[in-house]
Structure 1
Amino acid sequence: MRKAQFAALALSAVLALFVGVWAYVLPQSFYDLFPGIPGPWVSVDGPFNEHLVRDVGGMYLALAAASVAGLIWRSPVAYRLLGIAWTVFGALHFVYHVLHLDHMTPVDAVGEAISLLVSLLLGVILLLPAGADRKAVTR
């Protein structure tokens, strides 16, 4: 399982860097175009707010930094803590968006729901005990 957790964390870090850099450095472009193809997903949900978009970018960059640290340390505790953070964020993010799909095309709605579900599942993978950790958890 450790390899699956490492892969989940690496993919989470890449996704967070993609979203975080784009939102923080180019907030208007992020608002207008995210995710690129399909899309846009952000601009159809309300007026542009640079402060909010940059805050979202900063939050994603913080998760990316913590995820990169977890990749370096490769500690079961780090994986679990990052799993908690990614799962809580992912669950709340997923629930909000699946309850607000009416302003999107069917293709964009499905794409958004799937991408958010994948992100959530990556966090859940980090919560699962791996190998020797599994024995310690069951004792």
Structure 2
Amino acid sequence: MTARGWLRPGLAFLAVAYGLAGLTQLLLPKAFFDYFPWVDLLPPYNEHLLRDVGALTVGNALVLAVAAVAMERRLVYTALAANLAFAVPHFVFHTTHLEGFTPAEVISQTGFLVLLVVIPAALLVLAWRRPPG
């Protein structure tokens, strides 16, 4: 598959993943807190904060989705860079606040968060090498 061939499905994957998480945070914040892995290990529950983060996450997903459809160079770069502006500090916070986590939770959470950094970073490198559009 070509670099361009990886960009569209990669952007779409990120859009769907963030969209599902964001909609759950926005529409069902208590369920997200109670049932999404690892979230309840960092209390307290705050409905306002979860709904705000959910709305921002839905916005991020929307930009990623539009980039996946349009495949316009600047939009793809901006969508991926904006995604990393969230994903990197999110990764740093969670990997430095592991009190109360079991070893399995540390491994699974860290692995999941690594993917949320590596995927957009790799897509950004691909886009930079072989500009879309």
How high is the TM-score relative to the length of structure 2? 0.90
Q: Secondary structure, in 3 states, of the residue corresponding to 2:98?
A: coil
**Count of residues paired in the alignment:** 128
Contact between 1:79 and 1:126, CA under 8 Å: does it hold in 2? no
The residue correspondences of 1:83-98 to structure 2 (distance < 5 A) are 83-98=80-95
Aligned counterparts of 1:66 and 1:58: Cα–Cα separation in 2:
13
The residue correspondences of 1:1-139 to structure 2 (distance < 5 A) are 1-34=3-36, 39=37, 41-128=38-125, 129-131=128-130, 133=131
Q: Root-mean-square deviation (CA), in Å?
A: 1.5
Q: Secondary structure, in 3 states, of the residue corresponding to 1:8?
A: helix
Unpaired segments ≥5 residues, structure 2: none
Which contiguous aligned blocks of 4+ residues in structure 1 show a shift greater than 2 angstroms? none
Aligned counterparts of 1:103 and 1:78: Cα–Cα separation in 2:
40
- Residues 49-90 of structure 1: CA distance to partner in whole angstroms, max 9, x if unpaired? 000111111111001111111112111211110111111211
Aligned counterparts of 2:118 and 2:110: Cα–Cα separation in 1:
12
Contact between 2:83 and 2:120, CA under 8 Å: does it hold in 1? yes
